[in-house]
Amino acid sequence: MKKTLDGARVLLVEDEALIAMSIEELCKEHGAEDVVTVTSFNALNPDVLETGRISTAILDIKISDNWTNEFAHLLQSRRIPFIFATGYAANHQVFEPFNGITIIEKPYKDSDLIQALAQAIGSSNENGSRSD
């Protein structure tokens, strides 16, 4: 039986360890092949995209007191579908450059996160984004 995230290689950018572990487990339960977790701003660099051919990402907009919007722009430039899962959803100015990117506000339901990620993957496939 095909699962929602069947075969996906997920990049998770989340600095809260318990949340990161929960999301990693959730993604694997829904068929993700692998989840690469980045928990600090210092570890967040373009090289992480080269390890394991990331196919989608979940970003917290702020980790380690630093904004991740520049990394989000990098994901866009590489046509890697992603969503934001953050407690900063009310900070609309940060998200203005990311029109059309789903923002899931913490706390969220697991089903909402998985559905948003699946939709991001689905719409990127429809728009011809990379699918390696």
Average pLDDT over residues 113-124: 91
What tokens were used for 42? 């210092």
Q: How far apart are the first and last CA of the chain?
A: 22
Query: Given strand 103-105, what is the order of strands in its sheet?
Result: 34-38, 9-13, 56-59, 82-86, 103-105
Whole-number pLDDT of residue 52: 59
Domains defined along the chain, listed by start: 9-125 (3.40.50.2300)
Indicate the pTM of the whole model: 0.89
Closest CA to 106 of 24, 10, 20, 38: 20
The predicted-structure confidence for 45-59, as pLDDT tens digits, reads as follows 888 887 658 999 999
pLDDT(101) > 90: yes
Average pLDDT, the chain: 89
pLDDT over threshold 70, residue 129:
no
